[in-house]
Amino acid sequence: MKKLIPAIFAVFAFSGAAQAQEKIPVLSTQELVNVCKTPASPESRSFCVGYVTAIYDTYLATRNPKTSKSNICIKQPAPTRDEVIAGYMQWVQDNPPAASGPASGTFLRFLTVRFPCAR
């Protein structure tokens, strides 16, 4: 049994190292816009709404209000998700360099511009 434990550890260590070197593709802004452009498909609409909602929810969950001032302040009543997504797609069209960046980063940048906090 004592010889088995180091062998199991070695297997996990090797598989972890292999996974650490694996490249995980990041969704580009243009790919997200392409998916969001086709709301006629229930799958594409679900993906689009789910993706942008997850980005914003992650921003809210990971920002520590005690140490990090908020950059995004959405006043109530909030716009609909469809209005926000349409605004994002227009923003990307108006800012062509953003299309090649990661979707999560450009969506947060859009929210910062569209819903700035009072200074």
Residue 18 falls inside a structural domain: no
How confident is the prediction for the chain on average, in pLDDT? 84
**List of residues 6+ apart from 104 with CB closer than 8 A:** 26, 27, 55
Does position 13 have pLDDT exceeding 90, yes or no? no
Q: Residue 23: inside a domain, yes or no?
A: no
52 part of a folded domain: yes
The structural domain count of the chain equals 1
Q: Give how far the C-alpha of residue 112 lies from the chain's centroid of Cα atoms, to the nearest Å.
A: 14
Pick 9 or 72 by higher pLDDT. 72
> Residues 103-115: what's their mean pLDDT?
96
Residue 44 included in any domain: yes
* SS3 state of residue 104: helix
More confident residue, 89 or 8: 89
| Cβ atoms of 55 and 110 closer than 8 Å | no
Residue 69 lies in a domain: yes
Domain membership of residue 60 as a residue range: 29-114
**How far apart, in Å, do the first and last CA atoms of the chain sit?**
64
User: What is this structure's pTM?
Assistant: 0.76
